[in-house]
Amino acid sequence: MKKLFTMLAIAMLPFCNIIADDSIPSKFKNSPLSISLELTTKYMWRAIEYGDAPTSFAIINYEHKGFSAYAEGVYAFNGSHSEVDLGVAYNYKWLTVGVNDYYYPSSVGEKDHYFKLSSRKTGHYLEGAFTFAPEKIPLWLTLSTYFWGADKKPTNDKNAYSSYAEIGYSYSFNDYNVASLAVGAALNKGFYTDYEHGFNVVNITAKYATSFKFGKFHLPVSASYVLNPYRNKSYVTLSIYFNSKQL
């Protein structure tokens, strides 16, 4: 679920490459395809926890002239959570518009229902998202809504249209040290508030991103303090990132 926001976070890190720049073939540098891996101590998305173990995020990404597409697999080390996400987006200057498909596979070895696409029975969640990020101001504003799929009201099985807004600010100390603060809120009675309450602040995240240096190599890392006022819970997470090319 975190792909769009991971892209925004990684975009602030020009060092997102553990390989020394002069060791990459020039043809590969120009490829629109890339792969990346994130390892995190705990999977947090909009201050909601998924699984109860360290988690890996494997991503295949395509980017060309403002258009991007991705496929992402999310797997907790102990099997407590798994997820397959697909998405497309288009960026023009300060605006990014995207559509994401979130799906949660069944346990290993069990028959799954990936192609069950009836709106009343599907396990897919389709989300539309808009992100505004001014080029000269280190701010971003994201608005998103589930518009189709398993996001249903528990009382009448109709679409809940769970909606979320987030505003964030980042400050770059230098190329390798970035601090950011994001505040997110549920806009209606939906997924983020258990379909029981309307507007609520559900996410306050402070993040510091830096890198471990090994000679010419930089390994991107980040630490986050995450607070969910609605659930009255807080977390601290650590993530490391590997990317096949610089962003």
The residue type found at 31 is S
Q: Output the pLDDT for position 41.
A: 98
d(CA 73, CA 80): 14
Provide the CA 150 distance to its chain's centre, in angstroms: 19
Non-local (6+) Cβ contacts of 150 within 8 A are 122, 123, 124, 125
Reply yes or no on whether the pLDDT at 29 is more than 90: no
Reply yes or no on whether the pLDDT at 23 is more than 70: no
Evaluate whether 101 touches 126 at the Cβ level (below 8 Å). Answer: yes
List pLDDT tens digits, range 133-176: 998 899 999 999 999 999 999 988 899 999 999 999 999 998 78
Reply yes or no on whether the pLDDT at 20 is more than 50: no
Average confidence (pLDDT) over 27-31: 65
Candidate from 12-26, 43-57, 77-91, 211-225 with smallest mean pLDDT: 12-26
Average confidence (pLDDT) over 67-85: 96
Percent of the chain with pLDDT over 70: 87
Q: Output the pLDDT for position 93.
A: 94
Evaluate whether 11 touches 170 at the Cβ level (below 8 Å). Answer: no
Evaluate whether 170 touches 186 at the Cβ level (below 8 Å). Answer: no
Band the pLDDT of 92: cuts 50, 70, 90: very high
Q: Output the pLDDT for position 6.
A: 47
Is this model's pTM higher than 0.75 or not?
Answer: yes
Average confidence (pLDDT) over 49-60: 97
